Amino acid sequence: MSIYVSICYNEDLAFKQALTMNIPLISEIEKCIQEKVNRDYYTSVRETTRESPRLMHANDDIQKQRIAQLNHSIETGSVQLKTGNKARVVESYQRIKKKIINTNQDYQ
């Protein structure tokens, strides 16, 4: 049995028009959705499919922020190099390694 998802997407609420899409789901995603509903994470299949675009949008925002932070760090490093403010490789490596470890611990 396949679940077909119908999504109504309205980017600008001023326009009372929505785009409807029917999306067939592969069996792995269908099982995942059904499991979420069965475990009471969501009340219905419809609720899970409404949440998906919201999560994608939030993830896109997070990625944009990370890219902006990375670009800022690259620019800062570039300015520091041009002005002769250089860091030792070992010190930089240890600082980056510590930051990665702390980031990984935050997501666990």
pLDDT in tens, 2-39: 555 555 555 555 444 556 667 777 888 889 999 999 99
57-80 pLDDT, tens digit each:
899 999 999 999 999 989 988 888
Q: Which position has the token pair 């250089």?
A: 86
Give Cα 103 distance to the centre of its chain.
15
H or E stretch at 48: helix 45-82
Distance from C-alpha of 60 to C-alpha of 62, rounded to nearest angstrom: 5
Domains in the chain: boundaries? 4-106
